Structure 1
């Protein structure tokens, strides 16, 4: 069996990477091309040609506007998402580990998660005001549920044989949590984190449409109210690009943290 020298990649690695990038870029490029030709002859004020939108883009999204609108939005998203991740993983681990706690909390959780987070915006405004705290709370209130529920199911699915084996070796309490429970539940936890990321972006925009003075949601609404339609479309493009970039970053982190899991799945697919 041939070995690959240290510091070199396998011959087929770069080919697979290039093919993966081509597959990932094929559909977005196709959609952009379709959008370009479908809107090329448009005279509708609400549906400007894509070339007009792209021409407007660098004039609208200058460095000053990115600092004044994009950065506050990212900070709010980061604050709400982090708070939801910490609370969701902590509470999910507690609820998933103890059957009695789960039996008591489950009806309340089912009731709360059925409430659409945008409906809570006026309520949260009453208690948190109209500042950044309100927007962070709105994002956290929506992001916490997929993380919490996936963590509960991940903890519940930990192999009982592995649990008993760990306890027979004296691995209990915090050590068991760190060495067995969280690693075993981490694939499902990351599934919840992935779902929460898209929810967080949506709630970030919605929260900034209420009593805000900056942010991407606020800017898009201001463009719409001022009938600056091409400018409004550039804001929508920025939101799409932001979601794409955050998704790519999340995938890189996920593959780094769950390398053992993806390697295990790949080996199981190769085995007869």
Structure 2
């Protein structure tokens, strides 16, 4: 049985026995907390298995489950593409983690769709997608975001993006400015995560820092590549609220993707 058939059969089995989403109260710090993750999953193709084209959704789900996040922004997700066995990766990750899943298409790819996914332990009240501009012609990029209700705290906006990777900063600058404009009117806490394809010293992140507070600013662990990482391009940032960051971690995961996932825990004041 080839890998693609195995993936499809696994998806059918999971759809019949999907776990129920269970609300949880994290008290690991003795405080009410919110834990979020940003993870570029490389369409669930482990870099060490790139030649074989293996798709290992289980590995990605295991990384997420181990961290027990409340909200996850995932970049590089396939839906119905030939290279990923025609599966809906967002739906499978939702089923395997017991979280609500929302896919956001960025482009057509290989007979299917390619884009972003958001997972949430809280019911998703609304979701939106924004097409991001380009200064130079390149692959289409998007901003995705959802709204959820945090018990006792009200509405929160959780955003996820993946900025241009192949051109100079000009594309990333106009894309970041569009993101800032889109999220500027949101009331209540706003958290953005993603693969910004830009190091902290570059203009796109300087623009981000004018409006958001990153969960790590100095001495931050590198996020890419998965083996011997040498730069940080994946971030989590927050605005409109002064929730302290109890922990910022780059998970030392080296198999599932070419990025290491970033996790931050906020104290809900």
TM range (shorter): under 0.3
Larger of the two Rg values belongs to structure? 1
Higher share of residues assigned helix = 1
Q: TM-score, normalised by structure 1?
A: 0.23
Higher share of residues assigned strand = 2
